Structure 1
Amino acid sequence: MSDSLIPRRAALNLLNAVTVDHRLLSECTAIFDPLSPPDRARAQRLATSVLRAASRADRWLKPHLKKRPPVQVQNALRLGVVEIAEGAAPHGVVNDIVTLLADGKRTANFAALANAVLRKGADLPQQWGKLALPQLPDWLREPLREAWGNSAINAIERAHFRGAPLDLTIPRDTADWAARLGGLVLPTGSVRLDGHGMVSTLPGFAEGAWWVQDAAAALPVRLLGDLRGQRALDICAAPGGKTMQLASAGAEVTALDLSANRLQRVAENLARTNLNATIVQGDALEFTTTGWDVIVLDAPCSATGTIRRHPDLPFARDGAEIGSLIALQAQMIDHALRLLNPGGRLLFCTCSLLPDEGEVQVEEALARHPGLRVIPPELPEIEADWISPEGGVRLRPDYWPSLGGMDGFYMAVLCAP
C-alpha cells in the first residue's frame, strides 16, 4: 500500500459522508480515529479542498463522461482531479484512485473508467484556473444575492474558494508572538498565519500564549471595551474563544453550554491558557441566574459565514433548519435580556451571512423591548461600511481581500433599559 493511499481513502470516506449522508466533517470523527496525526491532517486537507472545488472538478469531468456515475464514484474522480490540478504527481494519484474504486463492491466496475478519465488530466494544472468559479447552492445564494447584490456574492464566492488562513488571538505580547510565529498582525489585533503546520506544534501553543479564533469571531468581545471586574455570562460558550477573551480582559466569567462534551473542550482550553471561568452545563433558556453586567450570546445559527473554512456546510445542509434557528435566536435574546442588570449589555452575534440571523434580529428585538438600544461601535479598527443601519457590525468573507478575507459575522451590543 502506498503511503498516500491511507489519507486518500479517508478523504474519500469523508467526501461520501458529507455528500451522501449529509454529515458535517466535524461529525465524522470516527473516520479520523485510526489515522496518525499527519494522515489525519492530510485527509482533512484533501476533503476540504475537494468540497471547495467540487463544481469546478465536475465541470472538467463532464465532457469525459457519457453520464454522471454514482456519487461515490464521482467523489473519487473529484479527488483525483483536484489533486492533479493542485500539482500532485498524476501517476500516483491515478493509481490510488483506481485502487480505491477497485476495492469497493459497488465501485469496482468503475475503476477502468477512472483510469481512462484521469489519465486525460495531464494539463489540469494549466486549465484549472480557467474553469468557472464554484457557486453557492441556490438555497443560500439567492437570499445572499438579494441582501448584498451580484457583485458582493461573486466576491464572497471568490473568498470561499480561496479558503482561510489561520487566525490567532494573542492577549499579551502580540507583536512579539507574531514575529516569532512569522504572522501578520491584522488591523483588529488578531495574528494571521499562512502555511502553518499542525497547530499543536506551533510555538506558544503548549504554554497557552494564544488560541485559534478567526479574526471576525474575535471582534465581538472587543466591542465591549473595559471588562475588568464585571460579571459576564457567555451563553453557548463552546469551544471557548469568547470565554477566554472575557477572562483575559478581567471579567468574572461563567461559561454556559448545553453540551457536556463541548464544555470539556472549554475546560481544556482554559487550563491550557491559564485562564479561569465557572463552567455550567445546561439549556440557556432554562438558566435563571440574574445579575449579569454583560451577557455574550453567540447564538446557534446557520454558520453560513464560516464556509471558507467549512466547505462541507453547503453539501451537508439545505437551509431547512434556518427558520427554526431564527425563532430560537429571538427566544434567546429575550431570555438573555431578562437576566441582565438594568443598564447591562447584551452582545448578540452570529456567524451567519443572512440578515435574518443578524440585522433583522436586532431590529425586531428593538421593536419588542421599549427602551432597548444599540450601543454604537467605537473601535477605530471598524471600517465605516461595516456598520449596518440599525447600529450593528456586519462582516463578510469578501472584506479584507488583500489580507486573506474573514469569516462572515454579525454583532451588536444592546443596552438593557
Structure 2
Amino acid sequence: MSTNLQRICLSIIERIYNCKFLNEIMENNSSYLNLSNRDKSLVNMTILTFLRRNGEVELIIKKFLKKPLKNKHNVVMNILRLATTQIVYLNIANYSVVNGFVNLVKKVRPGYESLVNGILRNICRSRPNFTETTQTIKNLPNWIRLGWEKSLSPTIVKDISKSLINIPKTDINIKKKVIFEKNWEEELGGKFIFDNVLRLNKTKQIKNLIGYNDGDWWVQNAAASIPVKVIEKFFLKKNDVSVLEVGSSPGGKTMQLIDAGFNVTALEKSETRFAKLEENLRRVNYTCSLVKMDLENFKLKNNFDCCLLDISCSASGIVARKPEILLFNKSVKQLIMDQENILNKASKLIKKNGIIVYCVCSLIYEEGENQIKIFLNKNKKFKKIGLEKYFSKKFDFHFKNGDIMTLPINYKDMGGLDGFFISCLQKYE
C-alpha cells in the first residue's frame, strides 16, 4: 500500500473519530474518489476491518505501547491502528506496511518514527499469537454491550460480537407480481431466505442486476422487511386499510406496503431523505401519498388503521453495516425521549382496534423492550399483540414477551440478519 493510500486512510479515520459517517466521508473525499477501483477496495477493506476489529486492535497496540499517547498525538495512534489492522488481519506484506506508515509518520508527526517502527516490528513478530486468538466482545463499546445485555444474555451478546467481524450480506425484496415470472435465484445469483426476500451470494453492482431497470425489486435487509409482514398478517383484507408510515426513507417498507395493497401515507421530515424516497419509488413505479413533515406537525381529518413507526435510534443493530458506530460515544437519552414522544403522538392517530407497529434497528433495552413497557403503563387503551402466532418455526427469530428481536446470529448459516426490535400494539378502547 502506497503512502498516498495510507494518508487517505488516515484522513478518513480522523473524521470518523469526529463522529462522521463513513459513506458521507467517502462521498466528500476527492482524493478517495479519484482512486482506481482497486485502490478504493484496499482503502475500504482497511477502514472497515479496523472498525469491525477496533477493540482487538487497541489491545494489540497496548501490549507494545509502554505509555499511552496524549490526545494531541492522536494522529500517531491512528497510524498505529491502521498499520496493526493491515499487519494482523489483512494479507499485506509486512515490510510494505511498516515502511509506508513509518514514512507517513515522518511527514505528519516528525520525531515518532522510532516509536512507530519499533511497535510495528514487534507486532509483525508476534502476529501468529494475535491471529489465533480473538476477543471480539472488546470491539463493542460499553454503551452497546451493556444496552444489549439488558435484553439478551451475555452469551448471546458474545456470539453476536463474533458475527460482526463478517461482511454483511445484501438482500433483495422482489415484487409479488413478478415473483413467479423468473427463476430469481438463478437470475440474480442468490437464495431465498424467506418469502420473497432473496439473499445474494456475493457482493455485486446492484444497478447491473436483472430487474433493476424494470423496477422488479429493491434492496432491503430481510430483518427490515419483518415489520410490514406483521401488518400483512394482522390485516387479512388490505385494500381498505390505511397505513401511516413515519420515517419512510429510503422507502423499503413503503414499497412493501404498496406492494401488499395497503392505502399508504408516507411521512418523512428530512428534505434529503424525502428526495431519496421519491427517487426510489419512481424507479419501481410505485406511488402513494407522500408528506414532507415531522409527526409533531402532521394534521389529519381521519385516523389510520395502522401506524408504522420506523423511529430514529442509535442504530446499534446495524453496526455490521455501519461499523463506524462502534467508535461513536453515543448517548441515547435524547433518542429515547424522542421515541417516547413519537409513540404517544402516534397513539392519538389510530382508530379503535387499529395497531401501532413500532420498530427500531437497535437491540438496546431502553430503545425497545423498555420503551414499550413505559408506553403500555401510560396508555391503558392499548395492549400488546403477541407476534409468535404469526410466524411459524421456520422463521429463525428471537421472540421475547411477544415482541420480535432479529439478531445477527439468526439465519447464521446464511450470513445473519440486521438487529431489529419489533412490537405490535393494538388500541381497544
The alignment's TM-score, normalised by the length of structure 1, stands at 0.88
1:115 to partner: Cα distance? 4.1
Residues 94 and 134 (structure 1), Cα distance of their counterparts in 2 relative to 1, 3 Å cut = farther
Aligned counterpart for 1:358 among listed residues 368, 381, 384: 368
Aligned counterpart for 1:160 among listed residues 131, 155, 164: 164
Matched, 1:173 2:174: no
Aligned counterpart for 1:12 among listed residues 10, 13, 22: 10
Give the match for residue 206 of structure 1.
213
Give the match for residue 312 of structure 1.
324
Residues 32 and 240 (structure 1), Cα distance of their counterparts in 2 relative to 1, 3 Å cut = farther
Residues 198 and 45 (structure 1), Cα distance of their counterparts in 2 relative to 1, 3 Å cut = farther
Give the match for residue 261 of structure 2.
250
Aligned counterpart for 1:73 among listed residues 76, 80, 94: 76
1:56 to partner: Cα distance? 1.6
1:30 to partner: Cα distance? 5.2
- Whether the 8 Å contact between 2:170 and 2:221 is mirrored in structure 1 is yes
Instruction: Tell me the secondary structure at the aligned position of residue 165 of structure 2.
Output: helix
For the aligned residues, what is the CA RMSD? Answer: 2.7
Aligned counterpart for 2:20 among listed residues 20, 23, 47: 23
- Whether the 8 Å contact between 2:228 and 2:256 is mirrored in structure 1 is yes
- Whether the 8 Å contact between 1:10 and 1:31 is mirrored in structure 2 is no
1:196 to partner: Cα distance? 0.9
- Whole-angstrom distance in 2 between the partners of 1:114 and 1:228: 66
Matched, 1:287 2:310: no
Matched, 1:138 2:114: no
1:57 to partner: Cα distance? 1.9
Aligned counterpart for 1:197 among listed residues 190, 193, 204: 204
Give the match for residue 60 of structure 1.
60
- Whole-angstrom distance in 2 between the partners of 1:205 and 1:91: 44
1:240 to partner: Cα distance? 1.4
Instruction: Read off the aligned partner of 2:19 and give its amino acid letter.
Output: H
Instruction: Tell me the secondary structure at the aligned position of residue 53 of structure 2.
Output: helix
Give the match for residue 131 of structure 2.
128
Give the match for residue 341 of structure 1.
351
- Whole-angstrom distance in 1 between the partners of 2:205 and 2:8: 18
1:287 to partner: Cα distance? 0.7
1:384 to partner: Cα distance? 8.2
Give the match for residue 98 of structure 2.
94
1:223 to partner: Cα distance? 0.9
Is there any run of 5+ residues in structure 2 with no aligned partner, and where?
none
- Whether the 8 Å contact between 1:188 and 1:215 is mirrored in structure 2 is no
- Whether the 8 Å contact between 2:397 and 2:406 is mirrored in structure 1 is no
- Whether the 8 Å contact between 1:306 and 1:351 is mirrored in structure 2 is yes
- Whole-angstrom distance in 1 between the partners of 2:111 and 2:326: 30
- Per-residue CA distance 1:178-237 (angstroms, 9 max, x = gap): 322221211354222243134334443333332222211111111111533432221011
- Whole-angstrom distance in 2 between the partners of 1:18 and 1:133: 20
Give the match for residue 109 of structure 1.
111
- Whole-angstrom distance in 2 between the partners of 1:103 and 1:176: 56
Matched, 1:301 2:313: yes
- Whole-angstrom distance in 2 between the partners of 1:203 and 1:58: 43
Instruction: Count how many residue pairs are aligned between Structure 1 and Structure 2.
Output: 409
User: How does 1:373-388 map onto structure 2 within 5 Å?
Assistant: 373-377=383-387, 378-380=390-392, 383=395, 386-388=398-400
Residues 406 and 346 (structure 1), Cα distance of their counterparts in 2 relative to 1, 3 Å cut = same
Residues 362 and 264 (structure 1), Cα distance of their counterparts in 2 relative to 1, 3 Å cut = same
- Whether the 8 Å contact between 2:188 and 2:209 is mirrored in structure 1 is yes
Aligned counterpart for 2:239 among listed residues 228, 239, 252: 228
Instruction: Tell me the secondary structure at the aligned position of residue 317 of structure 1.
Output: coil
Is there any run of 5+ residues in structure 1 with no aligned partner, and where?
none
Matched, 1:399 2:410: yes
Instruction: Read off the aligned partner of 2:93 and give its amino acid letter.
Output: A
Deviates most, 274-283 or 214-223? 274-283
1:348 to partner: Cα distance? 0.8
Instruction: Tell me the secondary structure at the aligned position of residue 180 of structure 1.
Output: helix
- Whether the 8 Å contact between 2:382 and 2:427 is mirrored in structure 1 is yes
Give the match for residue 47 of structure 2.
47
- Whole-angstrom distance in 1 between the partners of 2:384 and 2:77: 49
Give the match for residue 368 of structure 1.
378
- Whether the 8 Å contact between 2:397 and 2:410 is mirrored in structure 1 is no
Residues 327 and 246 (structure 1), Cα distance of their counterparts in 2 relative to 1, 3 Å cut = same
Residues 63 and 362 (structure 1), Cα distance of their counterparts in 2 relative to 1, 3 Å cut = closer
- Whole-angstrom distance in 2 between the partners of 1:163 and 1:115: 31
Deviates most, 324-333 or 195-204? 195-204
- Whole-angstrom distance in 1 between the partners of 2:132 and 2:174: 36
Aligned counterpart for 2:120 among listed residues 90, 95, 118: 118
Instruction: Read off the aligned partner of 1:242 and give its amino acid letter.
Output: K
- Whether the 8 Å contact between 2:312 and 2:339 is mirrored in structure 1 is yes
- Whole-angstrom distance in 1 between the partners of 2:128 and 2:219: 32
Instruction: Read off the aligned partner of 1:209 and give its amino acid letter.
Output: D
- Whether the 8 Å contact between 1:53 and 1:134 is mirrored in structure 2 is no
- Whole-angstrom distance in 1 between the partners of 2:396 and 2:206: 34
Deviates most, 187-196 or 233-242? 187-196
Percentage identity across paired residues of the two chains: 28
